[in-house]
Structure 1
Amino acid sequence: MYSDPKECLYCTDNETLHNLMIHIADLSVSRAFLFKEQTYRGRCLVAYNGHVNDLNELDDDQRNAFMADVARVTRAMQRVFNPEKINYGAYSDKLSHLHFHLAPKYVDGPDYGGTFRMNPGEVFLSECEYEEMINAIREVL
C-alpha cells in the first residue's frame, strides 16, 4: 500500500507526528526522533527524508547512507541508555514511508526476550525528562 506524501505524517511534519514523538536531529538522509511513549526507555525512530515505501527502492548509496544513520542513532542509544539489546522494526503496512523503530530492551524490562509492543501507552515522561534524554543523545550523535 503506497500512501500519498501529502497525507504522510513524516512528509507533512504534522500534528500526529508531534503527538507521537520529538525531533532529535537531522542526519545525512533522515531524521531521528524520540518516542514520547517510553515503555522501552530510549525508544527512537529514524525516518528517511524522501517518501519511499521500502528499503529496496533505494539505490546502494541511498540505502547505505540511511543504514549508516540508523547505526549512528543506535550507537548513541547504546552509549546513553546501555540496553542489553536494541530491537529494530521496519513496519509500514498502512504508512508507506521508510522508517525504522529502534526499541532498547533491558534484561529486567518489559517484553525482554519477546517482540516490543508498538504503542503500549504506559509510560510518559515530563517535558524536562524528554529534554534531558534528547540532549544526551544529541551529545553523542
Structure 2
Amino acid sequence: MKSDPKECLYCQNNETLHNLMIEIAELSVSRVFLFKEQTYHGRCLVAYNGHINDLNELSNEERNAFMDDVARATRAMQRAFHPEKINYGAYSDKLSHLHFHLAPKYVDGPDYGATFQMNPGKVYLTDAEYQNLVEAVKVNL
C-alpha cells in the first residue's frame, strides 16, 4: 500500500518523527536518524529524501547513491559502537517511504542470532545520552 506524502512522517518532518528519532545528519540522498528506543545500542535509520515506495523504483544511479549512504551510516555505527553485526531491515508495509532500519547486534545483547524487534519499548535514555550517541555517529560519518 502506498502512503500519501502529506501523511508521511519523513516527508512532513513532523512530531511523530521527532518522538521516535533524532536527526543526525543529511547525507547525499538521505537523512540518518538515531532511534530514541535504544534496546539495540546505537540503532539508527536511513530515510531516502524523496517519497519513494521501494528500492526497485530508483534508477541505478539513485539506488547506488542511497546504498552508499546506508553503507556510510553503518560504517560510522561500526566505528562508534563496535557491534558484532548490524542488521538491516527495509519493511515499509504501512509507511511506504524508502528507509532502512540499522540495528547493531552484540553477542551478549538482546535478540543476538534472531531478528530485531521493531520497537520493543524497553530502553530510553537521557537527553545527554542521546546527544553522546548522535555525536559518536556524526564524528564517524
CA distance in 1, matches of 2:78, 2:131: 18
Cα deviations across residues 43-90 of structure 1 (Å, max 9, x unaligned)?
A: 000000000000000000000000000000000000000000000000
Aligned equivalent of 2:43: 43
- Structure 2: 5+ residue runs without aligned partners? none
Query: Structure 2: which amino acid aligns with 1:39?
Result: T
Aligned equivalent of 1:96: 96
Equivalent pairs, count? 141
CA distance in 1, matches of 2:3, 2:56: 17
SS for the counterpart of 2:62 is helix
Return the TM-score normalized by structure 2: 0.99
Aligned equivalent of 1:21: 21
1:136 to partner: Cα distance: 1.2
SS for the counterpart of 2:22 is strand
1:1-141 matches, cutoff 5 A: 1-141=1-141
Query: Structure 1: which amino acid aligns with 2:57?
Result: E
Query: Structure 2: which amino acid aligns with 1:15?
Result: E
Q: CA RMSD in A?
A: 0.3
CA distance in 2, matches of 1:88, 1:62: 19
Query: Structure 2: which amino acid aligns with 1:51?
Result: H
Query: Structure 1: which amino acid aligns with 2:18?
Result: H
Query: Structure 2: which amino acid aligns with 1:31?
Result: R
- Structure 1: 5+ residue runs without aligned partners? none
Displacement over 6 Å in runs of 4+: none
